[in-house]
């Protein structure tokens, strides 16, 4: 990056603290829900993995609703939440994995860069790992790029960090 150039990174990630808070709140609601007392319903959290366990698909849907609503209330974008398929668990239970998408996949990053280029903004955009670095000599062009990207209909949430 030449001196006199400004840049920022486009990233896609969920705030881990907010996810933890949302899951804690979902655990509390699950413990207090009268209609779910005495059921196998539980939320298992192990580092990055979240698994929901329920007696049947109907209760699984209730459990998913609880977790989903807590995540949304804590500001987690619904586009970063990915549900696995419902699988048979131990005994008569079913389980489902919850995955939070982190980072921008290579193919999606390439498509995003192409959209920025096609817009004709005077910026350079390149993939750096799971994020996109955008640089320009003009802060105004960077602001226009942020506005443009915010207006795109992307299937993943974006955030703008490391503005310098």
DSSP state at residue 124 = E
- Reported pTM: 0.83
| Region for 129 from its dihedrals, namely left if φ exceeds 0, alpha if ψ lies in -120 to 50, beta otherwise | left
Using CA of residue 154, residue 159, residue 161, residue 164, what is the dihedral sign? positive
Residue ranges of domains in the chain: 6-12+104-161, 16-100
Digits of tens for pLDDT over the chain (164 positions)? 455 689 999 999 999 999 999 999 999 999 999 998 889 899 999 878 899 999 999 999 999 999 999 999 999 999 999 999 999 888 889 999 999 989 999 999 999 999 999 999 999 999 999 999 999 999 999 999 999 999 999 999 999 999 88
Count CB-CB contacts under 10 A for residue 80: 18
Provide the CA 124 distance to its chain's centre, in angstroms: 26
> CATH topology of 6-12+104-161 equal to that of 16-100?
yes
d(CA 34, CA 1): 59
CATH class of 6-12+104-161: alpha beta
Both tokens of residue 54? Answer: 């329920």
**16-100 — its CATH code?**
3.30.70.990
């Amino acid at each position: 990056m030449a001196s006199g150039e400004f840049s920022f990174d486009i990233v896609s990630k969920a705030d881990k603290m907010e996810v933890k808070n949302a899951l804690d709140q979902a655990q509390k609601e699950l413990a207090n829900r009268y209609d779910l007392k005495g059921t196998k319903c539980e939320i298992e959290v192990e580092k990055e993995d979240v698994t929901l366990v329920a007696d049947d698909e109907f209760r699984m849907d209730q459990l998913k609703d609880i977790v989903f609503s807590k995540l949304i209330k804590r500001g987690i974008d619904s586009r970063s939440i990915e549900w696995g398929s419902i699988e048979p668990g131990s005994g008569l239970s079913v389980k489902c994995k919850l995955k939070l998408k982190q980072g921008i996949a290579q193919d999606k990053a390439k498509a995003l860069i192409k959209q920025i280029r096609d817009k004709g903004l005077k910026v350079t955009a390149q993939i750096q790992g799971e994020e996109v670095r955008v640089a320009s000599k003009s802060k105004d062009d960077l602001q226009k790029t942020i506005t443009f990207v915010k207006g795109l209909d992307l299937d993943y949430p974006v955030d703008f960090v490391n503005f310098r």
